[in-house]
């Protein structure tokens, strides 16, 4: 491994919300500590398909997760398996679908809710949540500060080379309230502040950090379809690589090969998009 990297996925945050509410992240862009681009999700711009696209670098029509009703083991190379091939240690603090897609299916609550499997060819250190019972009223999401702390703990205890954190808090709030409301203003600012408590620590621990989303959401709180509101989100990068011009629109297919490039792990033949951080 040439570098260590953390990927932070805030589910369902449209581009406009990143740029207007995440003042902490924007402050680091202004100070030159981070860069930001716009990235476009694959189609359908639905969570399950986008998670599989993020990690395999292939579109849903190739990886086979065609909707949130197709939750199964994805039998393709992904960031976890390629990192393991290079001898790196992987960790995940995410919704259980990431475990289902990239480690074991179906998800067994007791066996899979957390595991430490140093010999795994996929996820070595997993801490998951299922959001069972999620509906319009009951978000069933964990506290994000707790998730950030859990990832930090895994990094410190197991020296992760690659770690991913994923949280559905803002996606769930968007479905519930939409995006032109004080509830969303507050929720984004709170998330930004929680992140600010951990990001400098991750950088001091030697990690490059990417903070981004899996897809956007329309003002009415919908996603799955086409258009800038549902598909586009911001991508913030903290690290030493050179990237493209600020106005270049990135493709979600680029994320997997780019992360593997930063880690120094082999890019799979199935990952055909260009690395955008050299």
Least spacing, CB of residue 12 vs Zn ion, in Å: 5
Nearer to Zn ion, 11 or 78 (CB): 11
- Establish whether the linkage from the previous residue to 180 is cis, with ω within 30° of 0: no
Say whether residue 252 binds Zn ion (CB under 5 A): no
Nearer to Zn ion, 47 or 120 (CB): 47
Residue of the chain from 12, 44, 91, 257 that contacts Zn ion (CB under 5 A): 12
Least spacing, CB of residue 167 vs Zn ion, in Å: 10
- For Zn ion, the binding residues in 159-188 under the rule CB under 5 A are 171
Neighbours of 65 (CB within 10 A): 24
Interface characters, 203-222, with Zn ion (x: CB under 5 A):
-----------x--------
* 267-to-109, 214, 257, 270 alpha-carbon distances in Å: 32, 21, 6, 8
Q: Give 130-197 as a DSSP string.
A: --TT--SS---PPPHHHHHHHHHHHHHHH--SEEEEEE-HHHHHHHHH-SSSHHHHHHHHHHHHHHHT
Number of H helices, E strands in the chain: 13, 9
From CA 145, how far away is CA 151, in angstroms rounded?
Answer: 10
- For Zn ion, the binding residues in 46-85 under the rule CB under 5 A are 47
- For Zn ion, the binding residues in 82-121 under the rule CB under 5 A are none
Least spacing, CB of residue 242 vs Zn ion, in Å: 30
Least spacing, CB of residue 11 vs Zn ion, in Å: 4
Residue of the chain from 4, 8, 9, 11 that contacts Zn ion (CB under 5 A): 11
Interface residue list for Zn ion (CB under 5 A): 11-12, 47, 171, 214
């Amino acid at each position: 491994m040439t570098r260590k990297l953390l990927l932070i996925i805030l589910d369902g945050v449209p581009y406009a919300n990143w740029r207007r509410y995440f003042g902490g992240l924007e402050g680091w862009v202004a100070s030159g500590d981070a860069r930001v681009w716009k990235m476009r999700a694959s189609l359908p711009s639905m969570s399950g398909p986008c998670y599989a696209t993020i990690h395999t670098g292939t579109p849903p029509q190739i990886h086979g997760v065609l909707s949130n009703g197709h939750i199964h083991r994805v039998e393709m190379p992904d960031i976890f398996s390629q990192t393991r091939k290079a001898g790196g240690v992987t960790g995940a603090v995410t919704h259980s679908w990431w475990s289902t897609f990239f480690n074991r299916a179906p998800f067994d609550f007791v066996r899979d809710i957390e595991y430490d499997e140093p010999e795994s060819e996929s996820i070595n250190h997993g801490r998951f949540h299922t959001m069972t019972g999620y509906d319009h009223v009951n978000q069933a999401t964990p506290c994000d500060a707790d998730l950030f702390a859990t990832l930090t703990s895994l990094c410190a205890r197991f020296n992760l080379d690659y770690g991913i954190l994923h949280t559905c808090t803002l996606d769930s709030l968007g479905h519930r309230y939409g995006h032109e409301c004080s509830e969303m203003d507050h929720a984004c600012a709170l998330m930004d502040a929680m992140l600010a408590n951990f990001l400098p620590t991750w950088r001091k621990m030697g990690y490059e950090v990417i903070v981004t989303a899996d897809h956007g959401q329309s003002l009415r709180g919908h996603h799955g379809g086409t258009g800038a509101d549902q598909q586009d989100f911001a991508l913030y990068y903290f690290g030493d690589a050179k990237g493209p011009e600020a106005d270049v629109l990135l493709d979600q297919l680029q994320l997997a090969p780019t992360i593997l490039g930063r880690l120094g792990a082999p890019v799979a033949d199935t990952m055909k998009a260009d690395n955008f951080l050299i």
